Amino acid sequence: MLPLLLERDGLVAVDKPIGLPTTGRDLDDPRCVQHALAVQLGRPVWAVHQLDAGTSGVCLFVTKKSLVATWSEQLARGEKRYLALVHGVPTWAKTRVDAPLRYVQAKKRVAVVPDGKDARTELRRLTHGPAHAIVEARPKTGRTHQVRVHLAHVGHPLVGDALHGPARNGDAGVSHALLHLREIRLGGDTLCSAPPAAFVEQARRRDVAVP
């Protein structure tokens, strides 16, 4: 059973686990959160936004397809707060990344490029150990892989992010980028999700306390 964080006005917020993509190939694809939630509720649901399979945390769905645009607009005016376990200890307490993004076919991934789409992320160092840190990331735009790419761009790639960060010592055995959507604020609601045990354990191994 997926933990429900909120259910009202056609909006359903769930605590997404690690390992499942938000959506699949279609509404009947069983290997995704969308299908699991539809079975749980006994009715179809549609995703308001996407989280990677390896990203955990607050994930929003609606029970009518016509509500996707409404809640997408609400989410764009709201705020997301991610916890990111990164390589290195940032010298800054806070910083703002303003680096345009687009998919680059030659690299087969999203990258920072001068002619990309506007992308802005606010970062804040929360806790750290000798060689790693937990950073809060607040994306101000909604580009694909924005947080992951921006963290790598400033020299602090996510632990376990083989796509956007170079292979690092200590990443062996980590099957996904260590990113958790801890909080979404939209309208008068604040939806929160505690980091999963796997995230906490990986932080502990690096002597980093999870705030």
Catalytic positions: 52
Is the Cβ–Cβ distance between 86 and 157 less than 8 Å? yes
CB atoms within 10 A of CB 126: 15
Q: One-letter amino acid identity for 125?
A: R
Is the Cβ–Cβ distance between 16 and 54 less than 8 Å? no
Q: Residue 12 forms beta bridges with which residues?
A: 7, 61
* HEC-encoded secondary structure of 144-160: CCHHHHHHHHCCCCECC
CB atoms within 10 A of CB 153: 17
Q: One-letter amino acid identity for 211?
A: P
How much helix, strand and coil, in percent to the nearest 5, is found in the chain? 20, 35, 45
Look up residue 127 and give its two tokens: 């806790």
What is the distance, to the nearest Å, from the Cα of residue 10 to the centroid of all Cα atoms in its chain?
23
Look up residue 184 and give its two tokens: 């979404």
What is the distance, to the nearest Å, from the Cα of residue 142 to the centroid of all Cα atoms in its chain?
11
